[in-house]
Amino acid sequence: MFRTDFPINAVRQTFPALQQTHNDKPVVFLDGPGGSQIPDVVLQSMLAYLSHYNANLGGAFFSSQITTNTMNEARYYGASLINAEQPENIVFGANMTSLTFHMSRTIARRWQSGDEIIVTNLDHYANVSSWQQAAQDKGVLVHQIDVCLPECDLDYEHLASVVNEKTKLIAVTMASNTTGTIVDIKRVVALAKSVGAMVYVDAVHYAPHYLIDVQDLGCDFLVCSAYKFFGPHIGLMYIAPKWLKALNPYKVEPATDIGPGRYETGTQSFEALAGLIACVEHLGSLGDKKQPLRQRLERSYEQYQRYEHQLTEYFLEKLQRFPQVRLYGHSNLQSGRTPTFALKVSGKNALEIAQTLATNNICVWSGHFYAKGLVEQLRCENEGGLLRVGLMHYNTVDEIDAFFEHFEQCLNSAS
């Protein structure tokens, strides 16, 4: 019998979406890697800002001052979430993709023809195409690192073989949004630093499941999107102190050239920043309220991880009953993974399975999930790509049972 001391019922009560039915049936959200549900406090915080204080920065009047305070507070909460040195090392934007395209142009201004950069097949293409296109503009060579199959680990030997004195940047994911595989970022950083190269980390999929510490990682840049960790649609980027003033970002001439604002083009979504503050507070809500925010986050994430590990073990055990289903990624927790599972049923169409599951309100994704290089290396482009099941700390063992019940029916009906 599944046993846990995690307060799952109390946690679920904070998410309005989890209380709904659709067509008189309960809803099972197993689509977290594509975007999480959000707690009520985030909704209320965004509504409160828009209802009373909607303004821009820099005004003398009260609502503009509150907006400025909201921006500053959001930087503090973002810095606490990823353990940045200072709030000024946090930059906001529309999402991870927009921030990365912007930063790829900014960083590429330093490149010269003959330089080299490295991307990987494990990444979401927001962290591939942006660099490929910037490299093409500058006449820079791009190496793309393979994935070791079937565990879908990054091929570190391949990576080491292409790092050289011409390498200027390595762009790498912290965890695969498709297979859940966790990357050894510190190993990548060590390789990069041996030749003086930058490391740009996509932590979008990692952030909901594990607490980030950029100072421990030693990376130069790290980016994530709040809507993947129970917040609104807004992107958050860390810039290491050595680069905050050294780079020359594209911006309009009158805009500030001081601090993180020099990287933020146009007016920010201040309501989303208010939501981000509430989101990070919510993430730390399982910690001791008397402790500083970072310590509360550490205690909370320890509980999220223990519970998600229990869900992962339960899911993997149930999956063993389906020998016709292939799992891409690690089949155990010890090797490093998030509770995200990439499945392929031989001869079956993943899209059709997802569509059938959807008729029973089992929400999962199928396709390539913008991890184009990975899906191509797996040779899963056809037959609907992969079926992806993603668990979050608001999911339950009963929901896993519901998935497998309907999943088995899909397989039997398609036989």
For 64-73, 191-200, 376-385, which range has the lowest pLDDT when averaged over its residues?
A: 376-385
Count of domains in the chain?
2
**CB neighbourhood size of 40 (10 A):** 15
Domain end residue (candidates: 220, 249, 283): 283
Please indicate, yes or no, whether residues 207 and 312 belong to a single structural domain of this protein. Answer: no
Strands 25-26 and 28-29: unpaired
Please indicate, yes or no, whether residues 272 and 124 belong to a single structural domain of this protein. Answer: yes
Looking up residue 57, the CATH number of its domain turns out to be 3.40.640.10
Is residue 1 a part of any domain in this protein?
A: no
- Is the pLDDT score of 414 beyond 70? no
For 138-152, 285-299, 368-382, which range has the lowest pLDDT when averaged over its residues?
A: 368-382
pLDDT in tens, 93-106: 999 999 999 999 99
Q: How confident is the model at residue 137 (pLDDT cuts 50, 70, 90)?
A: very high
Domain end residue (candidates: 260, 283, 306): 283
> Residue 95 has what pLDDT?
97
Please indicate, yes or no, whether residues 13 and 56 belong to a single structural domain of this protein. Answer: no
Q: How confident is the model at residue 27 (pLDDT cuts 50, 70, 90)?
A: very high
- Is the pLDDT score of 236 beyond 80? yes
Is residue 323 a part of any domain in this protein?
A: yes
Please indicate, yes or no, whether residues 60 and 32 belong to a single structural domain of this protein. Answer: no
pLDDT in tens, 247-284: 999 999 999 999 999 999 999 999 999 999 999 999 99
For 52-66, 282-296, 372-386, which range has the lowest pLDDT when averaged over its residues?
A: 372-386
Cα(280)–Cα(300) distance, rounded to whole angstroms? 11
Query: Considering all CA atoms of the chain, what is the largest pairwise distance in Å, rounded to the nearest integer?
Result: 69
Looking up residue 14, the CATH number of its domain turns out to be 3.90.1150.10
Please indicate, yes or no, whether residues 139 and 218 belong to a single structural domain of this protein. Answer: yes
Please indicate, yes or no, whether residues 261 and 150 belong to a single structural domain of this protein. Answer: yes
Is residue 169 a part of any domain in this protein?
A: yes
Is residue 2 a part of any domain in this protein?
A: no
Is residue 216 a part of any domain in this protein?
A: yes
> Residue 381 has what pLDDT?
76
Is residue 197 a part of any domain in this protein?
A: yes
Please indicate, yes or no, whether residues 100 and 128 belong to a single structural domain of this protein. Answer: yes
Q: Is 141 helix (H, G, I), strand (E, B) or coil?
A: strand
Domain that holds residue 170: 44-283
Cα(276)–Cα(227) distance, rounded to whole angstroms? 9
Please indicate, yes or no, whether residues 97 and 83 belong to a single structural domain of this protein. Answer: yes
> Residue 1 has what pLDDT?
64
Pick the most confident of 207-211, 326-330, 379-383: 207-211
Q: What percent of the chain has pLDDT over 70?
A: 99
HSE, CB side, 13 Å, CA atoms: give it for residue 176. Answer: 30
Domain end residue (candidates: 229, 259, 283): 283
Is residue 299 a part of any domain in this protein?
A: yes
Please indicate, yes or no, whether residues 22 and 52 belong to a single structural domain of this protein. Answer: no
Is residue 3 a part of any domain in this protein?
A: no
Mean pLDDT of the chain: 96
pLDDT in tens, 38-91: 999 999 999 999 999 999 999 999 999 999 999 999 999 999 999 999 999 999
> Residue 51 has what pLDDT?
97
Please indicate, yes or no, whether residues 378 and 397 belong to a single structural domain of this protein. Answer: yes
Phi, psi angle pair for 209, to nearest 5° = -110, -30
Cα(104)–Cα(12) distance, rounded to whole angstroms? 39
Please indicate, yes or no, whether residues 53 and 120 belong to a single structural domain of this protein. Answer: yes
> Residue 347 has what pLDDT?
82
Please indicate, yes or no, whether residues 194 and 271 belong to a single structural domain of this protein. Answer: yes
> Residue 270 has what pLDDT?
98
The DSSP-derived string for 321-388 is T-TTEEEES-SSSTT-B-SEEEEEETTS-HHHHHHHHHTTTEE-EEE-TT-HHHHHHHT-SSTTBEEE
